Homo-oligomer: A and B are copies of this chain.
């Protein structure tokens, strides 16, 4: 059994594993630096031909009529073998003294982005990355139908220092019975801004930042790569859609193909500039509609004031006592400086990619 417990002082939920608890001796390896498992292709559970080494697939993109759980896939979504949350746990909500608990109903899935063991997400062709983004969308739409869930978070850990335990490139999805703290904060700010001004805060911000220019590393008709004014991390970037849209799951394949192109440039520029750094990315989108028994279920959201985006965080600095204990991040590279470097790197790639035009034609 896993449960979510509310911290009344920090005002946030925490996921606690109450079964198979890790004892002190379980942490000795982690203590001496965890290393990403980088076995050869034969031993890797995410490689083609090893489909039986994962739980049965939930979703896959196959363009060749191949059968589920067999070779021939482009993108494959499977349950996490060691889930942080699982759907069988129900979503019971109760109080214990002054504390609050929700039992840990949720989902934890792995999106295997390619059968190729040796490529990173940014190395894939744009049409392949588009298939990854389509998989994200399809999983969100499916999970939004479950009335117990309040959020579906998609994220990526690249390399051990960023939390990856398997080297073969993959993203993850965790669906939770409560809106995560960071998202709750962002949704609240956007909602309050809209109520007082009838404008989207992030739309305002995009307009101002495009005019100012010095924090825009790249701009297409549809997206910008933005180094946030108050970046918490060096070389942090956000991919923001220029047009207001609250729910990522509303994007069609063409919109996702354009996003894939922008994401590829972003990831390749970080790889070039920072020597393939560990990084995390996270997709922030509006939560599912709050459904109650008897109400029709639908995968759309009603948080229209939000503006979906992707946040990409290279892991170049250590999160220490000041950051953890005070919530104050120290960023030694101003976003204006990061932008100059990123812009140069992106432009060199963008030139190449435009010429070859491989990827936007599917």
Contacts and interface: CB of A to CB of B under 8 A. Distances in A.
Interface of A: 5-18, 21-24, 26-28, 30-31, 33-34, 84, 97-99, 151, 153, 155-157, 160-164, 172, 174, 176, 180-183, 185-186, 189-190, 201-202, 204-205, 208, 212, 228-232, 234-235, 273-275, 277-278, 280-282, 284, 311, 313, 316-335, 337, 341
The A contact surface, by secondary structure, is mixed
A99 B230 contact: yes
Contacts of A328: 12-15, 153, 174, 176, 180-182
A21 B333 contact: yes
Given A9-B186, A31-B275, A186-B10, A324 B313 contact: yes
Nearest to A279: B321
Contacts of A334: 16-18, 21
B10 A185 contact: yes
Contacts of A228: 7
Contacts of A277: 27, 31
A182 B282 contact: no
A27 to B, nearest CB: 4
Contact of A322 (B31, B98, B174): B174
Nearest to A280: B321
A202 to B, nearest CB: 7
Given A13-B328, A319-B319, 4 more contacts: A21-B334, A160-B318, A174-B328, A284-B325
Given A157-B321, A160-B318, A181 B326 contact: yes
Contact of A31 (B201, B316, B326, B327): B316
